[in-house]
């Protein structure tokens, strides 16, 4: 188990050349481009996903993005976010990445998808059609140090206060998605947490 944990914690799981899926606003596949190309300039619309993982106490797992990240390094964000690769289904990619980044395996519930575009200046832009999932896990978190510099569990109430006081410390997609989770999708979240 120790050897497997070590592989998770320092495995290289992101590549600038990995082929991502280009789509239109209706999620029709238009082609493929490297991760680098997808984030250059104003960005090219591509498929992505965001995961919100809660523990048995109803706390959300937050991660601080690695300083190696091209976009929003060292910002706090939701539990896990990434992209399906060419030939990969969304659920398959979400489960893969959850294990690669956090060493967790759990059921995921799809909630919704939305399109957004956010610029980080010269380094590039996120332009994603992002599918949002929630899940619950009491598993042992084993963070991948190439992807995550810090992590913690936080109660929704404390997160609300922190995001109100320091919105500049969070990724733009995290703020948009959290507003939807605690607004339009509140009932789904309450059911997951047994509230």
- The residues that are catalytic are 81, 128
pLDDT in tens, 96-138: 999 999 999 999 999 999 999 998 888 889 999 999 999 999 8
Looking at domain 2-193, its CATH class is alpha beta
Query: In the numeric block, which tokens belong to residue 40?
Result: 């250059």
Question: How far, rounded to the nearest angstrom, does the alpha carbon of residue 149 sit from its chain's CA centroid?
Answer: 14
Domain residue ranges in the chain? 2-193
pLDDT at residue number 7: 46
The CA distances from residue 115 to 61, 102, 110, 146, in Å, are 24, 26, 16, 27
Query: Contact, 92 vs 106, CB < 8 A?
Result: no
Contacts of 2 (CB under 8 A, 6+ apart): none
pLDDT beyond 50 at 69: yes
């Amino acid at each position: 188990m120790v050897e497997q944990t070590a592989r998770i914690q320092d495995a290289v799981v992101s590549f600038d050349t990995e082929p991502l899926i280009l789509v239109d606003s209706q999620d029709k596949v238009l082609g493929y481009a490297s991760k680098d190309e997808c984030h250059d300039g104003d960005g090219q619309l591509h498929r992505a996903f965001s995961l919100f993982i809660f523990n048995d106490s109803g706390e959300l797992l937050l991660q601080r993005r690695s300083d190696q990240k091209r976009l929003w390094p060292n910002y706090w964000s939701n539990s896990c976010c990434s992209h399906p690769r060419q030939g990969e289904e969304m659920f398959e990619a979400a489960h893969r990445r959850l294990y690669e980044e956090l060493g967790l395996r759990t059921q995921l519930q799809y909630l919704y998808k939305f399109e957004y575009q956010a610029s980080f200046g010269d380094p590039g832009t996120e332009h994603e059609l992002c599918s949002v999932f929630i899940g619950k896990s009491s598993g042992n978190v084993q963070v991948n140090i190439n992807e995550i510099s810090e992590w913690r569990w936080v109660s929704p109430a404390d997160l609300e206060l922190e995001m109100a006081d320091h919105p500049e410390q969070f990724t733009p997609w995290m703020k948009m998605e959290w507003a939807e989770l605690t607004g339009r999708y509140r009932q789904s979240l309450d059911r997951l947490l047994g509230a």
